[in-house]
Each structure stands twice: as C-alpha cells, then as structure tokens.
Chains A and B, each alone.
Chain A
Amino acid sequence: MSLHEVFRDCAAQRRAALIGYLPAGFPTVPDSAELFRAMVRGDGDTPGCDVVEIGIPYSDPVMDGPTIQAAGGEALRNGFRVRQLFDLVATVAEAGAAPVVMTYWNPVHRYGPDAFARDLAAAGGLGVITPDLIPDEADEWLTAARRYDLDRIFLVAPSSTDRRLAMTAEAGSGFLYAASVMGVTGARDSVSGSARDLVRRTREHTELPIGVGLGVRTAEHAAEVGSFADGVIVGSAFVSRVRREGTTGVAEFAAELGRGVRSNPAPVPEVVD
C-alpha cells in the first residue's frame, strides 16, 4: 500500500490518518520492534497508527526537544546502528502500517543516498521525512528516491513564504509535514492556532495530504487537528508513554488517539488568525 492509498482510504472514512513516531532502537532494538507493533495494533477495539515514522537516533538532533533527544541518546548508548533500521521498517510493514523513516540528513549522506533508498525500499519503506533537508539542497536525494519509488516528505513551517510553500509542495510527495508551531518537538498543552492557518495556506498550493505535527499529545488534540488536517502526527507523547507504561501503555495510547481521529467532531469553521 502506498502513502497515497493510506490517505485516500482514511479520507473515505472521513477521518485523518494517525501518524506515530518513535526512535528506532529505543530503548533497545528488540524492545522497539515490540513498541512499533503495539503502535499499529492498538487495544483490540480500536486500531492504532496508520503510518509509523521510524526515527533514526542522531547525535545532534537540533529540531528535537528534550524528550526525543533523551530517547535517541538512549538508543545510541544501547548500541543502535543504522543498518538495524531496515528490519524495524519491515516489522512495521508486516504489522500492517505504512512505514516511513524520519531522519536528519547526515546519516543518509554518510550511508549514501542511493544505497539508503535502495535498502529502505527493499525493506518495505515508503518514504523519508527530512527535517533538515530542504528541496533546494535535495537534488541527489530526489534522484535516489524517485529511482526506488520512495516518497519525499518535506516540512513546511509557519514562517514559510508562499513561494516556498509552492516550491516545497512541488518537490514533495506522499504528504507534506506541517510543523504547527515555531519550535522543536515536544508535547504542548494546546494546539497552536498557527497550525490551522498553515494548513490553509499550504492547501492553496497543493493537492498533497497535509500532516500536522509538533505538540499533539491527547485524543482531544488529535480530534481537533484531524478536523482540519489529513494526518495527525504524534511523537514526544509516545516516547513519554513508553517511559511511563511500556508496550501496553503505547498500545492503549495508540487506540486513544485512534478514537480521537475517528471522533468526527463538528467541522470547525476555518479561522484565520
């Protein structure tokens, strides 16, 4: 199944896709395989994530807040290696969700973009989210990704100009990742009003689905974001749940969020802030 089909099916159910993130190898590689399965499975009543972002732990995660920094650091201290990523990608695919990789650029640069795309596609991966690679610098990656039919998922931000929104939408595929606030990853108490505005501005330039991330931590947030975005992205809150409650907690949290995106709240009138 492609990302295009995942978003199409969710749209047919009149809901947003649930996109969950955890770092690969956190806290260990075998544990993280269990956690990814739990994120997809949900609690038995409600399924969990439609799309799973598998993060590559990185030594210098400048876009991440303390929660994800600490988790990635733990994975690295426990010996995670990039070559172990691909089995985890296959695990997610076998569990029935759409696997994408989220990574800072240097590990891919070092692996070789073409080799990385080849190995990711072979494992069943569908695309890569690149938080510090903008389309302006992505020629080599775009070539490799097209060659292996992988989606190129770029970020847009509240500070992006209309010209850059158009250019980024043109270069991207699969979906666009809208960073809802100016800042790093981390759960927040409320969903920023800038998210809705960014989604509205981005839609003027693209038919691609738009996922909203940064700050979503409850089923209520998920429902709210799902009312105006095509995908709801949850990362740091999953990491916190791993810390508090382990695999069972992650499965339950995925189901809670799953109910959130299915709760179908009354459509919220579009607000321009």
Chain B
Amino acid sequence: MTARDSETSYESVTPGGTGVSGHDPDSGGHFGSYGGRFMPEALIAAQDELAAEYDKARDDPEFVAELERLLRDYAGRPSPLTEVERFGAHAGGARVLLKREDLNHTGSHKINNVLGQALLVKRMGKRRVIAETGAGQHGVATATACALLDLDCVIYMGATDTRRQALNVARMRLLGAEVRPVEAGSATLKDAINEALRDWVTNVADTHYLLGTAAGAHPFPLMVRNLHKVIGEESREQVLRRTGRLPDAVVACVGGGSNAIGIFHGFIDDPGVRLVGMEAGGHGLDSGEHGAALTSGSPGTLHGARSYLLQDEDGQIAEAYSISAGLDYPGVGPEHAWLADTGRAEYRAVTDEEAMHAFRLLSRTEGIIPAIESAHALAGALRLGAELGPEAVLVVSLSGRGDKDMDTAAHYFGLVPEAGITGEDQG
C-alpha cells in the first residue's frame, strides 16, 4: 500500500469540534454517573476558567481557523487511512484499514490535543505549562507545542519511566522543556499526574496543566475528546470513500483513552458500527498484573473524575502494569466508563504477548512499526477479524509509531546481542 492517501480534503472536517452534540456531558461534566470534578476547591476556579474559555474558543472562528492551520501545516493532517492487505490476511481475511496517527508530527495522535490546549493557554494569558508523561509521547508533544508557541514547559515523569525512556527525556530537554523525575509512589505515570496536580495547586495563577488524555476533572474529558474527534471524522469520510460503506468495527487501544474516544466519536451515531476498545491485559487478567480498568476494575474516583479504576477493597489505587508505558495506568477516561455501561462501546483486554505478536506481524507484513500501545488495537483487530470473517471491514487507530519502543522490542525479541532474550518466540 502507498503511504499517503490524498483522497480526503482536510477542509471538510472541523477540528476541535463545534457546538454541542448529543454526547456532551452535563454542565458539571457528568457522563451518566461518571466524570464530574473530584478536585480540591483550590483548583475549581481554574477549572471553571478553563471550561468557560474553552466554551468560547470552540465557537470562535478565529480559534478554530488557527487550530485548523496548525493541524494542517504543522502536524500534517489529515493523516492517511492505509489499507493493509497482507496484515488483513492474518485477521480472518478481513479488510483492515489503519488510521495513521503515527504519521503526525511528533509521531502520535497526542499532537491534536496539545496544539488545541496550547492555543487556549495563549488565550488565557498564562505563561507556564506543566504536563505529565508516561512513555514520553505526551511530554514530547507538549514540549513541542511550547517551543512553537513560546511557553515555559515543565514535564513530570516517573523516575522509573525516565530511565526506561531516556531518549524521550533528551528529546524534551532539547525542545527546551524542564523534565522533573518523580520518585514518589511507584514512580510511574500515576505518580507523575499526582505531582503535576501538586504543582498546579501551588502555581495555578500563571500555570496551565496540559493534561494528556481524556480523563481528569471536567472540562478535560470533554475538551480532549473534542480535540481528538478529528481522528474519527477523517476516518469516517476516508473509509466511506475507499470502501463505499461504513466499517463493521472501529478498534483502538485504551489507556486513559484519548485516541479511542477521538476515533469512536466519528462513528458514535452510526449504530451499525461496533466501537471496540482494547485495554492492556499485561500478563493476563488472572495474574493481577495489567492495566484493564474497564474489563477488570470497579467504579471509583481518581485524578478528578469518577470512572472505572483498579483498586483494592479499601479504595487504595492499585499499580497498573503493561509492557506499554502508555497503557500503564490504573484508571480510564469517564466517557469510556459511560460507553461501557450503556453498551455503545465494548472493551476487551489484550495481553503483552498478543500485543507483541501483532507488533511484529505489522512490521513484517506491511513495513510499519507501530507503537506497542497501538499494537494492542492491532491484536484486537486480529481477533475481531477472525470472529467476523473476510466480509468484514475494520478501521484500526494506529495511534503512534514504534520508534520509541525499539529498546523494549529488542529485549523482548532478542534482536541485539547484548539484550537478554526474553521473548520465547524467536520467529
């Protein structure tokens, strides 16, 4: 397949979302019984300011046009939809089409959200941006937008993750961001979010917390979703043009769930299209070592919202596990919790092993190395294709590229002499 699909005119879809859809939360940010604002009072004024500013911006033609320009000229949208026939042959012969968010500037879907929020920061007159990052993708995207728009940038990253993703730390520093390793707790993504929240409550007057996923307190889940809706809107138009029909299913990986909610929303009013989210099954749900909040967790409050999460019987938050740092999170965005309860979307878990199998399969059959996060969606497509057969059309969100994961992959598959051979499958 060719890499670039030029069939779609970008102007036909509107980034950032305009107006109120039938899928917006109530004014307090509730999707059914999920979402809301379980936040310290000290931050409520800032959340209110952000919600009000976002409400104005999303209907302001100047803001929409500026975001549209950046997404087109800077991020490279629209991203192509690539049909992958050789990979599809392993998915029960189904037609599989990949939404290529990996081809965006900075290598993942994260840039959509970051550009939108960074423009909002300028509108609000704040100078300083803080963000959390797990694998480093959101941190790199945030540092990028801050470099572009001349904003001070501090990235909180779990100390464990700074060691696992040393190159992304260097990348963020090169872009002018300050990276602060977080030693507290498990020293991973959830602790980075905690530390960013502590910074925000202390410096909220001049600081915006640029949250990287469709989770957290209102208005983040709504705003981040709308900024990623462009993924689904482009996909719908592209798949119709290419195949003349809507897909049977749209598949995406779910950690916090931002790429999934973005692509789902392009199809949410098409009842014949199944929306399928793939969570991190880690070493298997029975092992207790996974990140499958929807498949295996229970309702609770974390980082500002009520949603599903991994917790013990006392309500202490459990440590998640996944081979993919981007899915290594014990919670999930509140709209996914609502979509799961209402049945509009379905969620399944994919183990490390299944994800790594799909990771290598796509690399070898199509010459595309996916992010390990996205490989979870690909593994889901292999399963769904087998279930639905060769007549099926599947759209898969390829949310990021796999360059950042080469160290993990090299160790897993034993690809370099000094790496331990830990993958059992030597192919």
Name A's B-contacting residues (CB within 8 A). 58-63, 65-66, 69, 73, 76, 81-82, 105-111, 131-134, 136-137, 154-161, 164, 168, 179, 182-184
For residue B185, CB closer than 8 A to chain A, the reply is: yes
- For the A-B complex, the count of residue pairs with Cβ-Cβ distances under 8 Å equals 112
Q: How far is the CB of A171 from chain B (nearest CB, A)?
A: 11
Judging by beta carbons under 8 Å apart, are A184 and B202 in contact? yes
B44 CB contacts on chain A under 8 angstroms: 134, 159-160, 164
26 contacts between A and B (CB under 8 A): A58-B316, A59-B316, A59-B317, A61-B194, A62-B40, A62-B198, A82-B315, A105-B301, A109-B299, A109-B300, A109-B306, A110-B300, A110-B315, A111-B314, A134-B37, A134-B38, A134-B39, A158-B42, A159-B43, A159-B204, A160-B42, A161-B45, A179-B42, A183-B198, A183-B201, A184-B202
For residue B184, CB closer than 8 A to chain A, the reply is: yes
Within the complex, which residue of B45, B202, B204, B301 is in contact with A106, where a contact is CB–CB below 8 Å?
B301
Interface centre among A106, A183, A184 (most CB of B within 10 A): A106
Name B's A-contacting residues (CB within 8 A). 28, 36-46, 48, 184-185, 190, 194, 197-198, 201-205, 299-303, 306, 311, 313-317
User: How far is B41's CA from A76's CA once the two chains are assembled, in angstroms?
Assistant: 26
B313 CB contacts on chain A under 8 angstroms: 110
User: How far is B202's CA from A60's CA once the two chains are assembled, in angstroms?
Assistant: 17
Q: How far is the CB of A120 from chain B (nearest CB, A)?
A: 15
* Given known A-B contacts A106-B311, A156-B41, A179-B41, A60 and B201 have beta carbons under 8 A apart: no
User: How far is B198's CA from A66's CA once the two chains are assembled, in angstroms?
Assistant: 11
Q: How far is the CB of A195 from chain B (nearest CB, A)?
A: 13
Judging by beta carbons under 8 Å apart, are A182 and B201 in contact? yes
Judging by beta carbons under 8 Å apart, are A82 and B314 in contact? yes
Q: How far is the CB of B79 from chain A (nearest CB, A)?
A: 35
User: How far is B302's CA from A82's CA once the two chains are assembled, in angstroms?
Assistant: 18
Judging by beta carbons under 8 Å apart, are B40 and A60 in contact? no
User: How far is B44's CA from A108's CA once the two chains are assembled, in angstroms?
Assistant: 21
User: How far is B314's CA from A63's CA once the two chains are assembled, in angstroms?
Assistant: 19
Judging by beta carbons under 8 Å apart, are B204 and A110 in contact? no
Within the complex, which residue of A73, A107, A155, A179 is in contact with B314, where a contact is CB–CB below 8 Å?
A107
Judging by beta carbons under 8 Å apart, are B317 and A106 in contact? yes
